[in-house]
Amino acid sequence: MNTKIWLSSPHMSGKEQQYIDDAFKSNWIAPLGPNVTGFESDIQSYLGEGSNVAVLSSGTAAIHLGLVLLGVAKGDEVICQSKTFSASANPIAYLGATPIFVDSESDTWNICPEQLEIAIKDRIAKGKKPKAIIAVHLYGMPYKVSEINRVAETYNIPVLEDSAEALGSTYSNEKCGTFGTISILSFNGNKIITTSGGGALVTKDKSIKDKAVFLATQARDNAVEYLHSQIGYNYRMSNVIAGIGRGQMQVIDNRVELRRQNYNFYESHLKNINEITFLSEPKGHFSNRWLSCILTNSEKTREGLRIALEKENIESRPLWKPMHQQPVFLECPKYLNGVSDDLFKKGLCLPSGSNLTDNEKNRVLSTIQAYFDN
Ligand SMILES: *Cc1c(COP(=O)(O)O)cnc(C)c1O
């Protein structure tokens, strides 16, 4: 059997171990310490002037805290891009609020500005103005930031920017992770850089960051005894794994470059196959190409190709199944135009790790070519 080719596996730089050793030598084995503050300032420098970063235990925790900080509570409604990973939507349910799912447009596969406005108007007409909008840069492709912000501003609704897949992507030359009232990042094992598991909340407003850290450390009031006047969470990042993050931040630009090279490799070699199309970058959108995705001409072709790859021990995956199709969310209101359902039928994510070898990429390529030759 050929060795397994993974969809997206961790890629260490070799610089991580030193930071972990430092944590052990100084006994900062806790959810605070020099690696935590160092990792935060590394991310702040990378994202640019004015970003305040709180590193947390996961991207999901960051979304949960973000919604709390935006005032989302039981009975509220929160708009969420339907085409995404479940972690974007689950925290809405943690709070006893209702997700309102909105479909995608086909230029970026992300939340459609027209459907968004239709949804907001309809929810207001039905008696509840949505508390927040969760917009996602899927597979690293920035959503239509200006259009979405225009709608959000018209109705005065804050945007929670889910940039879990888009560290290193830019829109109009500005980094993803800087566009929301609150933005979030993920450092899960499969993301463009990883701390094994982890996340961050990003905001231009320093007081929001301070509040996030307060809530993430059990909401302890400033008193000698343990005094609590709010519900808190245990969501801070460990100083040990923050050390992995410090090592990873040193190579982030290289990782973006390598992921983009993967995409260019697939596109240049596969574009002549009639049954396959690619998502190119609209003007002003620069994608980190976290995952290289293709669209086939039908569900049958997509599934046939997926199985052909699996037989060669190559992992691939259909594009995210839209949240409005998930059994757990079937009852939630939704505003659809057919785009995300169609993408789910036809789309496939190909192996995309920054540590793929030429030999592995050629194995993927020849398997795809052989499938369409037959
Ligand atoms: C990975 C991911 C998350 C969640 O991040 P975790 O760190 O795994 O909790 C949220 N949203 C999207 C779009 C993701 O891909």
* Contact yes or no for 106/95 (Cβ under 8 A): no
Alpha helices of 4-112 — where are they, by DSSP H?
16-26, 34-47, 59-69, 90-94
Residue 85 Cβ inside 6 Å of ligand 1? The answer reads: yes
Question: What is the percentage of the chain residues whose pLDDT exceeds 90?
Answer: 99
Model pLDDT, residue 373: 92
What are the phi and psi torsion angles at 219 (to 5°)? Answer: 50, 55
Mutate to test the pocket of ligand 1, among 81, 85, 317, 340 (most ligand atoms within 8 A of CB): 85
16-249 is a CATH 3.40.640.10 domain: yes
Tell me, in angstroms, the distance from the centre of ligand 1 to residue 62's CA: 9
User: Which residues have a catalytic role annotated?
Assistant: 191
Predicted TM-score of the model (pTM): 0.98
Crossing angle between the packed helical segments 299-311 and 358-373, to the nearest 10 degrees = 130
Q: Each residue of 254-304: pLDDT tens digit?
A: 999 999 999 999 999 999 999 999 999 999 999 999 999 999 999 999 999
The label of the residue with tokens 């990003």 reads 202
Do 252-373 and 16-249 have the same topology in CATH?
Answer: no
* pLDDT mean over 45-70: 97
159-162 and 170-171 strand pairing: unpaired
* pLDDT mean over 64-88: 98
252-373 is a CATH 3.90.1150.10 domain: yes
Mutate to test the pocket of ligand 1, among 55, 186, 187, 202 (most ligand atoms within 8 A of CB): 186
Tell me, in angstroms, the distance from the centre of ligand 1 to residue 197's CA: 10
CA–CA dist 93, 14 (Å, integer): 39
pLDDT at 320 over 90: yes
* Contact yes or no for 157/181 (Cβ under 8 A): no
Residue 195 Cβ inside 6 Å of ligand 1? The answer reads: no
Model pLDDT, residue 211: 98
Q: Which residue ranges make up each domain of the chain?
A: 16-249, 252-373
The label of the residue with tokens 């929301």 reads 180
